């Protein structure tokens, strides 16, 4: 069948889309979400279709092409293309098998991920894969196949170093910016640590959001490789690298129902480490009533899965289980977190000691994983001597920031509101979830200077009417939104 093209001024981040008139669809015997091949000369592309039920937008004899299809075919309005129906991809049958409880083999997993990356699966079809993994679980072999497939169909960094280390935190705890302490210490020790991080999805700030206060995080792959070769490390946003595009698509599918199948979680994390060339990986699993992992039993199970899968993938994995009962550091939000980090690296007396202690501990563990003895002593020396701070300055400069920026230069939002204790006693509970809601309502992470500063932490004594925390915002309306949420939340408990 030959049809005339009509350009549709819409682009999607998912599958390639074309629209058929209902009469042409009937003649081709296709329905919505079926696939067709569109050919123009020697070029061709496979797309999913939607159906126009009337002649107003897409007339009989026309085909509407979204921007992605137009770009591939280099199409013009009213050009004629040839349409051909094609079979559904085999990966759909493999997904159905997984829904029925079948264990996927390497070839099947590989084909599912290949079709996912190449947009041959619709979001609905891909969601069934996530649902099947959630419902029926995944074997370690399936997680291995998934990890390798994500790496195979994503980008890679080529650092050219034999010993590359990396770290990852499961997340769910406000602040906790240990990466920005660990990277300069480890890099100053002579190890290579190309750290790619995410932006915030549901939190007040992601590592990339916080680093961006100090230096740009969106760099081309070639530039990142140069930065790492010169400084031994970097702190960049992984989204620009396409290191694990399949993983990014899977995360997007998991989000609406908060599905997080363990097998996909394991593959998601380890595929990104393999993609940067790391062989030694430290995993941090915070536990607490409002953390992603709530119990030690579940954390121990996840720890064992990481270690077993790491062995199958040829990785040296160390997993630590840490406290997730409160934020790590005092500032929550990009600017306030960046200020905490600089204060730790500059060895300021009023730097948050919990962030300093955890950062040193994790840096020392990474150093010990590659055979460095007395690693905690050496990590402490690197920090206290100023070597770590100078390494941070070097990384900031190479990434395009001001290496001489000071904590005092990082100003929080001009509008603020103090939350005071209603009685005297000791703080026994801090709600991470409430702090996250308030910080986001104040405008973070989009508003870099919005957030929360904690003056008190768990077990601290507080007097009646003493300030426990302060909210910062860039405008009055967002501050009011944050205050309104404060009135509905139980942020802390004093006994």
Residues noted as catalytic: 260
Q: CA of 286: how far to CAs of 40, 206, 253, 293, 434, in Å?
A: 54, 16, 24, 7, 18
- 268: which 2 tokens? 């998601």
* C-alpha dihedral sign at 449, 450, 452, 455: positive
Residue 317 is classified by DSSP as E
Listed in sequence order, the DSSP H helices in 423-475 are: 432-441
Tokens 């009417």 locate to 465
Between CA 489 and CA 128 the distance in angstroms is 36
Listed in sequence order, the DSSP H helices in 53-122 are: 67-73, 90-99, 106-117
Beta bridge partners of 46: 37
Between CA 361 and CA 299 the distance in angstroms is 19
Q: CA of 167: how far to CAs of 62, 151, 318, 361, 466, in Å?
A: 52, 18, 9, 12, 38
Listed in sequence order, the DSSP H helices in 255-372 are: 262-275, 296-312, 334-345, 353-369
Q: How many residues does the chain have?
A: 495
Contact by Cβ (8 Å): 164, 282: no
Between CA 393 and CA 346 the distance in angstroms is 11
Between CA 194 and CA 313 the distance in angstroms is 19
- Gyration radius (Cα) of the chain, Å: 25
Between CA 495 and CA 493 the distance in angstroms is 7
């Amino acid at each position: 069948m030959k049809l005339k093209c009509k350009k549709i001024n819409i682009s999607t981040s998912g599958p390639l889309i074309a629209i058929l008139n209902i009469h042409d669809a009937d003649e081709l015997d296709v329905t919505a979400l079926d696939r067709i091949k569109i050919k123009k000369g020697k070029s061709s592309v496979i797309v999913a279709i939607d159906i126009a039920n009337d002649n107003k937008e897409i007339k009989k004899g026309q085909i509407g092409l979204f921007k992605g299809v137009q770009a591939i075919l280099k199409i013009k309005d009213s050009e004629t293309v040839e349409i051909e129906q094609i079979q559904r991809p085999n990966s759909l049958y493999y997904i159905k098998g997984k829904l029925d409880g079948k264990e996927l083999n390497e070839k099947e997993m590989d084909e599912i991920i290949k079709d996912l990356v190449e947009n041959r699966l619709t979001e609905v079809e891909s969601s069934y894969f996530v649902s099947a993994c959630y419902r029926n679980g995944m074997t370690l072999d399936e997680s291995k196949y998934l990890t390798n497939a994500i790496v195979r169909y994503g980008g890679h960094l080529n650092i050219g170093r034999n010993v590359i280390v990396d770290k990852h935190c499961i997340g769910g705890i406000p602040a906790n910016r240990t990466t920005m302490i660990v990277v300069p210490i480890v890099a100053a020790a002579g190890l290579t640590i190309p750290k790619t991080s995410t932006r915030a999805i549901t939190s007040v700030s992601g590592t990339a959001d916080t680093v961006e206060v100090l230096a740009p995080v969106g760099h081309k792959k070639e530039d990142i490789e140069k930065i790492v070769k010169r400084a031994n490390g970097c702190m960049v946003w992984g989204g620009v690298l396409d290191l694990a595009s399949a993983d990014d698509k899977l995360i997007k599918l998991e989000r609406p129902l908060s599905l997080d199948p363990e097998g996909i979680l394991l593959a998601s994390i380890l595929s990104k480490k393999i993609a940067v060339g790391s062989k030694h990986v430290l995993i941090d699993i915070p536990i607490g009533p409002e953390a992603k992992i709530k119990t030690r039993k579940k954390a121990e199970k996840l720890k064992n899965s990481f270690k077993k899968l790491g062995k199958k993938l040829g990785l040296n994995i160390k997993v630590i289980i840490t406290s997730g009962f409160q934020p790590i550091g005092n500032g929550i939000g990009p600017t306030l977190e960046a200020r905490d980090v600089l204060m730790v690296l500059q060895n300021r007396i009023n730097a948050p000691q919990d962030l300093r202690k955890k950062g040193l501990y994790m840096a020392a563990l990474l150093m010990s994983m590659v055979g460095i003895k007395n690693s905690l002593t050496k990590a402490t020396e690197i920090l206290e001597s100023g070597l770590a701070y100078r390494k941070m300055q070097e990384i900031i400069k190479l990434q395009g920031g001001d290496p001489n920026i000071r904590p005092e230069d990082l100003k929080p939002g001009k509008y603020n509101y103090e939350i005071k204790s209603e009685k005297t006693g000791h703080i026994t509970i801090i709600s991470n979830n409430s702090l996250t809601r308030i910080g986001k309502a104040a405008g973070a992470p989009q508003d870099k200077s919005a957030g929360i500063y904690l003056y008190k932490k768990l077990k601290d004594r507080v007097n009646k009417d003493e300030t426990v925390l302060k909210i910062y915002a860039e405008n009055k309306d967002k501050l009011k939104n944050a205050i309104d949420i404060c009135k509905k939340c139980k942020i802390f408990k004093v006994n």
